[in-house]
Amino acid sequence: MKLDSAYWRDRYVEERTGWDIGHPNHGLIAEVKSRFPVNTKILIPGAGRGYEAEALWGAGYLNTYVCDWAPEAFDALSKSEVLAKAFSDADEAKSRLIVADFFTLEGQYDLILEQTFFCAIDPKLRENYVNQAAHLLKPVGKWMGILFDCHFPTAGPPFGGDREAYRTVFEKRFQIEKLERFRGSIQPRMGKELLGLMYCKSM
């Protein structure tokens, strides 16, 4: 199975989007609001339909950007009333939707917000993910996100993991402040997720 842009585009076209909970992850949004000011420049990689971005734009986090390499993921988001209300200029609104490969993306952000993207990529690419995340963050940038604390019986995606495996891969580029059970999980994932908060190490 080749997890390329064509694969993910087909998943959206065929509506095989089991990871889509149909609304923002309210627990994760609450973590952002409690820790980061509204002027924080945020990147959500592999954002899919972008529910978290809509919630953040609506809460005044206008420097929130989403990235996905399947343009179909943004079909609904590009027509979002929340997006239109947040940005009176159409070009500015469009600039928040980045159709690109995360691994080749350039830019500088204060925060990378992770949900479901890390678990969707081939585990062989996890070290590349960590390096790219560090590359995209400002020197004092932070990574915060949700990671599965379980292993799946199927080949994936999604791909699971555990706390020690994540520590091993992230500690090369990040100082880990928090990696613990996520209390804000949606009910089907309760007890199966970790919340991570990490600081980019100086190079």
pLDDT tens-digit profile of 185-195? Answer: 776 777 789 99
Domain that holds residue 98: 5-200
Strands 137-148 and 42-45: unpaired
pLDDT at 91: 94
How far apart are alpha carbons 73 and 46 in whole angstroms?
A: 9
| pLDDT tens digits for range 37-69 | 999 999 999 877 788 999 999 999 999 999 987
pLDDT in tens, 18-34: 555 566 889 999 999 99
Q: How confident is the model at residue 14 (pLDDT cuts 50, 70, 90)?
A: very low
User: For the stretch 35-54, what's the b/e string if a residue is b when 16 or more beta carbons lie within 10 angstroms of its beta carbon?
Assistant: ebeeebbbbbbbbbbbbbbb
Give CA separation, 92 vs 71, 87, 113, in Å: 18, 7, 21
Report whether pLDDT(125) > 70: yes
Q: What is the pTM of this model?
A: 0.87
Tokens linked to 123: 């585990």
Show Cβ contacts of residue 29 under 8 Å, excluding neighbours closer than 6 positions.
52, 55, 56, 59
- CA separation for the pair 106, 67 (Å, rounded): 11
Q: Specify the CATH number for the domain of residue 105.
A: 3.40.50.150
Supply the DSSP symbol for 53.
H
Residue 60: count of CB within 10 angstroms of its CB: 13
Number of domains into which the chain is organized: 1
Give the closest residue to 41 by CA, choosing from 58, 50, 53.
53
The mean of the pLDDT values for the chain is 87
